[in-house]
Amino acid sequence: MPTKMWIALLGWRDTPVDGVEDYCTFLGKSLEKRGIELKQARVPWMENGWIGALRWLAQESAAWCDKWVIVQYTALSWSRRGFPFFALAVLAILRRGGARVAVVFHEPNRQGGARGVDRFRGSCQDWVIRKLYRGATKAIFADPLKKIAWLPTNDSKAKSIPIGANIPESATRTEFLGSGEDKTKTVAVFCLTEPPKQKLELTDIAYAVQSAVANGLKLRVVFLGRGTEEAREEIAQVFSRVPVEVSMLGILGDDAVSETLARSDAMLCVRGEITPRRGSVIAGIACGVPIVGYSGAAEGTPLAAAGIEFVPYRDREALGRALSRVLTDLDLQKRLRERSFYAQQQLFSWDVIAASYFDFLECGQS
C-alpha cells in the first residue's frame, strides 16, 4: 500500500489522446511499487475560466502543503493560443500554499513558427519556461541537460529522466516478430503531424517506400495513431502511384498498437529530427521494431542506445536506402531489435523511470 502521495497537476486535456495524461498514468503505476500514490489533478481553466480555475486550485491545494506537486508543462496545456502565462499563476498559488513544486518540461523550449506572431509567441514561451524553472523546487527534462542551452550548468535542481512508452509494458513484445524473409514486409507509420507539415512527411514516406519497392521488395504500409485518420485522403493521393498495400488503422487501443508495431518489419519516423520527447519513437523501442528516422537531435541521448537507423535530416535518398537495408538484412533487423530490447529494459522502462523520480524527489539524488 502507498505510504506517501504526490500530485501530478495537469492543464487542458488534449484530444483525441493525451500523451501527458498517459505519461502520468504509467508513471503512477510504477511509483506504487515504491510506496508512492501519484494522484492526478487537472486545473479546469477551460471550463471555469482562469479566475474560477485559480480559486479551485487554491481550495484544492490547501491539502497539499509539504507534498510534491508535479506540474506537467506544455504550452497548449496552459493556454488556448500558446501564451502559457497562466502556468506562472498556478506555480505562485502552489508555492504560497506550501507545496513542494516540481515541473516536468515536456517542452523545454519554444514551439516553432516563422511568422511574426509565432516569434512573439515563442519569446513569451521561453520567458515562461525560464520563470517556471526558477520558481520550481525541482525540474525534470526528457532531454539530457547538456542539450538544453539555457539551463545553468551543474544545477542540482534539474534532472534528465527519459519518458516511457504510452503502452502497457506487459503488452510489449520481446520476441522477434517480423514477417520473415519471403513474405510481404510491413512498414509502420505511427502518428503524423498536423498540416502543413503533414504533406512533407507523407512525401518523404512515399519516396522511401518507392525506393524499397524499386529494390524488389513487396511492401505493406500501415498508418496508425494520431493524425492518420484525418490524413486519409492525403495518404491516398500520395500513394496513388506507389505499388504497395496501404492500411489505415487510425486510433487503436494500447494492446493493438503494441501488436501492430511488434509485428512490423520496420517503422518510419519522419516527424522532424528524432528527439527523446517523441512518444511514438519510444513506443517503437518498447515493441522492438527496427526504426528508420532522421538524425540531428538524438546524438548524446539515450536514443543512441536503441535500435534506430539514423539518416541525415530530410535526405530522402538516404531514408530509402536505410529502409531497404533494414527490410532485407535479417541480421541487421535482429541486432536492432536486440538493441531496443536492451534500451527498453535499462533506460525506458517505467520502473527505471519511477526509480529515478523517487531518488530525485525523495532522496535528493541528482
Rounded distance between C-alpha atoms, residue 280 and residue 268, angstroms: 10
CATH of residue 85's domain is 3.40.50.2000
Distance separating alpha carbons of residues 362 and 68, to the nearest angstrom: 9
Segments of the chain scoring below 50 in pLDDT: 174
Same domain (yes/no): 173, 238: yes
- 301 lies in which domain range? 169-348
Q: HSE (CB half, 13 Å, CA atoms) of 294?
A: 19
Does a structural domain hold residue 309? yes
- Rounded to whole angstroms, the Cα distance separating 57 from 317 reads 52
Q: How many domains does the chain have?
A: 2
- pLDDT by residue (tens digit) across 145-188? 999 999 998 889 999 999 999 988 756 654 555 565 558 999 99
Q: Tell me, yes or no, whether 123 lies in a domain.
A: yes
pLDDT at position 75: 95
Examine the domain organization and report whether 160 and 294 are in the same domain: no
242 and 340 co-located in one domain: yes
- The confidence score (pLDDT) of residue 273 equals 94
Torsion 161-163-168-174 (CA) sign: negative
Joined grid coordinates for residue 188: 509502420
Looking at the structure, tell me whether residues 48 and 196 fall in a common domain: no
- One domain, residues 249 and 197: yes
pLDDT in tens, 237-276: 999 999 999 999 999 998 899 999 999 999 999 999 999 9
Cβ distance 347 to 162 under 8 Å?
A: yes
Shared domain for 189 and 336, answered yes or no, is yes
Contacts of 254 (CB under 8 A, 6+ apart): 166, 167, 168, 171
Query: Could you tell me if 159 and 236 lie in one domain?
Result: no
130, 150 Cβ separation under 8 angstroms: yes
Asked if residue 153 and residue 221 are part of one domain, the reply reads no
pTM of the model: 0.93
